[in-house]
Chains A and B, each alone.
Chain A
Amino acid sequence: MPKTMGLMGKKVGMTRIYSDIGSSIPVTVIETGPCVVLQIKTVAKEGYNAIQIGFGSKKDARMNKPMSGHVKTAGKGGFYFIKEFRVNDPSQYEVGQTIAVSDLFKVGDLIDISAKTKGSGFQGVMKRHGFAGGPGGHGSMFHRAPGSIGCSAWPSRVVKGKKMPGQMGTNLVTKKNVMVMDVRPDQNVLVVKGGVPGAKQSVLQIFTK
């Protein structure tokens, strides 16, 4: 796990902006923070340094009792999403502190963004692993099947990690070195260059470098 502070955000969607010389830059708009520090973990107590932050406020009526007890010390209500970020020095944060997007990011920074990719369901090897497949016609009876998956007498088993059909997507993927194009503190909006994993409205973890 990277020892970096970060925030949680929600992917709003994509658009484009133009650079000064007129080249089009695809950008992703992310709604981030304000995130609230809910718990501080230290080497002395938990064995590692981290802070736990909450994002996306949740109504009191939707909270269960253990969770409402956990967020009570912070005093900023409940949250839908709670995540931990490893930090080197947890003493600079305090429980209940609000972290805004402008506290961590500025234009030109390179950041990492983690999110769950869009789910594609159960997919075959052509879509999932990029196998070539067979010819479509000319009497061919081999179209999208994976083909041979191993040898017979030796090793007389399928090797581990063999690429086969299965669930595709919904993996946690980190896109590294994403450039920050714009920070809008009053709207809690972060604009980054290029795409980020996940569907619109999906929750992202944004790490500083």
Chain B
Amino acid sequence: MNIIDQIDQENMRHDVPDFRPGDTVQVHIRIIEGAKERVQLFQGIVIRRRRGTMDASVTVRKISHGVGVEKTFCLHNPRLEKIEVVTRGRVRRSKLYYLRDLRGKAARIREKGIN
């Protein structure tokens, strides 16, 4: 095995759940404020998943007080407490950038298995 792959394997987290673009996920992030540490939740739709070893990341979008907010998380960052899948969505794209132009009812994603 290539030494870089080996270093990556050692530093990668193997507890990342299986989720896809269109799924609604809840991301628990540990936030350090001075000396205190707390866990912040960010729930939204996965609009992009970047594959890769250490470079893998996910972008989650939600509407907060009427404003679209997107956060990109590195999947192997130790500051990430956990990722929980809330619902599975049925989408036909791997990158859901079109959601940025949609508002309200149009921006909904059909749940998987429900017709």
A residues sitting closer than 8 Å to B (CB atoms) are 12-18, 20-22, 24, 29, 31, 182, 187, 189, 191
Verify A21–B79 contact, CB threshold 8 A: yes
Contacts beyond the supplied A24-B74, A191-B7: 9 A-B pairs with Cβ under 8 Å:
A12-B4, A13-B4, A15-B4, A17-B7, A17-B11, A18-B74, A20-B78, A22-B77, A187-B3
The prevalent SS among residues of A at the interface is strand
List 10 A–B pairs whose Cβ atoms lie within 8 Å, in order of A's numbering. A12-B4, A14-B4, A15-B8, A15-B54, A16-B54, A17-B11, A18-B78, A29-B7, A187-B3, A191-B7
Contacts of A13 in B (CB 8 A): 4
Distance to closest chain A CB from B110 (angstroms): 35
Q: Which residues of B contact A (CB under 8 A)?
A: 2-4, 7-8, 11, 30, 32, 53-55, 74, 76-80
| Distance (whole angstroms) from the CB of A32 to the closest CB of chain B | 11
Which B residues touch A20, using CB under 8 A?
Answer: 78
- A22-B30 CB under 8 A given contacts A15-B8, A29-B4, A189-B3: yes
| Residue of B with least CB distance to A20 | B78
Question: Which of B2, B32, B79 has the most C-beta atoms of chain A within 10 angstroms of its own C-beta?
Answer: B79
B32 contacts A21, C-beta separation under 8 Å: yes
- Taking the closest CB of chain B, its distance from the CB of A11, in whole angstroms, is 11
Cα-based distance from A13 to B80 in the complex (angstroms): 26
Docked Cα-Cα span, A31 to B55, in Å, equals 22
Give complex CA distance A20, B11 in Å.
12
In whole angstroms, how far apart are the Cα atoms of A13 and B55 in the complex? 14
Contact A18 B4 (CB under 8 A): no
Measured between C-beta atoms, what is the minimum distance from A100 to chain B in Å? Answer: 16
Contacting pair B7 A15 (CB below 8 A): yes
